[in-house]
Amino acid sequence: MNQPVREDDTFARARRGRNIAIAVGLVLFVALVYVVTVIKMGANVLDRAL
Amino acid sequence: MSEALSSPKAPARWQDFFQLLKPRVMSLVVFTALTGLVCAGRPINPVLGAVAILCIAVGAGASASLNMWYDADIDAKMRRTRGRPVPSGKVQGADAVALGVVLSLFSVMLMGMALNWLAAGLLAFTIFFYAVVYTMWLKRSTAQNIVIGGLAGALPPVIGWAAVTGTVPPNAWLLCAIIFMWTPPHFWALSLYTSEDYEKAGVPMMPVVKGPASTRRQILIYSVLLIPFCVAPAFTGLGGLAYLIVSGLGGAVFLLLAWRLFRSQAGDAADPRNTDGLYDVRAGARDARNLFAFSILYLTLLFATLLVEHLMGLTPLEWMS
């Protein structure tokens, strides 16, 4: 019977740190695209015929 | 290439991945790109300006990550680079490639969508030039590696300029030319007292291939050619009086140090004291170290002066009118 390999705390902590870094990066990227979209669209939205 | 070196000995932390982006080089790229962006002289939304700088910084980091993956075998042989994440086994080569490719795509696409596609195209070209042309081809095959490869480090101000205006006028290329011509004396001065490492790694740097005397002569020639490029912005409507003074006086010091290096014995013997620090060298290599250190200061002063002049709205000298 194969025993599941237990990762030690160091590996688990490192992986958790990497996951958080990727999550933060992705959230910032989404926020950045949103802000850029608002800025790029802003002038045109105000300029449209009502 | 790097797979044999990349079995992880310790779990990779996010900081190790950050080191793959060469943050110190990235900060220089940000500085020169910002100068190009400000010198373009056209108003830009501050958020879009920040996005442009971020894209250039991330693109530079992406190409650095690809460079560290491909060069892991030679990095492992050099004292200065053996502690990098891939050769030290902290990060696997495949992960470095993945990071480099993903960040390249993100930075180029965001630059294109947020600013313009000329800037995005120049950024893509810069990444390709550094990661493929320089890293995979020139670095291991010719003593002119850093001369031609220097174009990658010289393009950020052009990208910054293009991000604002969507054009690349002669003054943008002048900023590029300054960095391009500055690169050979800067790197060859360094390689004069680190050539032992390059030789061990099989990298054909100029002192290894042509010898120290030829390298010192070429440093002097490039320095003489560099100074007119550095002073030129004062005559093209880019720099003001402060820039003229800084570039002229700094250029004179640069030439003096290059002349002293030319007359010295720097690089003629291996330097056992040069273990870690780039500035801790024995007496024979002091002239090379001095030029290396001053070259960094000179380039920083040139771009900082341009930046300050444009931010303060100081009028460029109008020689042509």
ipTM score of the complex?
0.79
Sequence-ordered list of residues with C-beta below 8 angstroms from that of B235, at least 6 positions apart, any chain: B317, B319, B320
Whether B7 has a pLDDT exceeding 70, the answer reads no
Pick from B14, B45, B51: CB nearest A32: B51
Model pLDDT, residue B49: 96
Chain A nearest-CA distance from B47, in A, is 8
pLDDT in tens, B82-141: 999 999 999 999 999 999 999 999 999 999 999 999 999 999 999 999 999 999 999 999
Identify the band that residue B318 occupies on the pLDDT scale cut at 50, 70 and 90. low
The pLDDT tens digits of the residues spanning B225-270 come to 999 999 999 999 999 999 999 999 999 999 999 999 999 988 886 5
Task: List the single best residue of A13, A33, A34, A41 to mutate versus B (max B Cβ within 10 A).
Answer: A33
Is the model more confident about B227 or about B278?
Answer: B227
Residue A8 to chain B, least CA–CA distance (Å): 10
**Type of residue at B119:** A
Query: In which region does residue B151 sit, left (phi positive, over 0), alpha (psi from -120 to 50) or beta (all else)?
Result: alpha
> What does the DSSP assignment read for B223-280?
HHHHHHHHHGGGGTTS--HHHHHHHHHHHHHHHHHHHHHHHS-TTSS--TT-SS-SS-
Q: Which residue of B has its CA nearest to A34?
A: B114
- Residues A1-50 have pLDDT tens digits of 555 555 688 888 899 999 999 999 999 999 999 999 999 888 677 676 76
In this prediction the pTM is 0.89
Task: Please write down the long-range contacts of A45-50, taking CB distance under 8 Å and 24 or more positions apart.
Answer: none
B46 in A contact zone (CB under 8 Å)? no
Residue tagged 């992880």 (tokens):
B8
Best mutation target among A40, A41, A44 (most B Cβ atoms within 10 Å) is: A40
What was the pLDDT predicted at B4?
43
A30 shares contact with chain B (CB less than 8 Å): no
Task: Inform me whether the C-beta atom of residue A38 falls under 8 Å from chain B C-beta atoms.
Answer: no
